Homo-oligomer: A and B are copies of this chain.
């Protein structure tokens, strides 16, 4: 039997380094928008559906509110979003895109295409891989909650 502890055979190492590689491709693109990678993902979530709550965003992005709150504050001080307490339920904070935040989507619209190109694969191939990675994520998340 082979050594189970080979770096290049670890799925975690593959994902870890792929994540960095993606980050490096994204960085120059996101720099022009003044966004970090997680901030970009939060903006994508908001472009998709404006007016989400902090908790709702956290569920989508798999982030805790203690991570999200400072991140959202940075987006607010950058002028891309507003944070408003809901009048119906004062515990809840609703995130709304500002004009500038909405407009930013136009500048970002080409980014996913750049990534597809950099991946050197066609869209269908990438979609299939993406679905497999999501399945892995789901299995891992499930294993955590079960014990």
Q: List residues of chain A with CB under 8 Å of any chain B CB.
A: 3-22, 24-26, 37-38, 41, 44-45, 47-48, 60-62, 105, 108-109, 112-113, 115-121, 126-127, 129-130, 132-134, 136-137, 139-144
Contact = CB atoms under 8 A, between A and B. Distances in A.
Given A4-B113, A7-B48, A47-B5, A18 B130 contact: no
A134 B10 CA distance: 10
Nearest to A14: B133
Contacts of A22: 11-12, 15-16, 140
Given A21-B137, A139-B119, A129 B11 contact: yes
B140 A7 contact: no
B119 A18 contact: no
B112 A18 contact: no
B141 A21 contact: yes
A62 B21 contact: yes
18 contacts: A7-B44, A7-B48, A11-B119, A11-B133, A12-B41, A12-B115, A14-B130, A15-B22, A16-B38, A16-B41, A18-B133, A18-B134, A18-B137, A117-B143, A118-B140, A119-B139, A129-B132, A129-B133
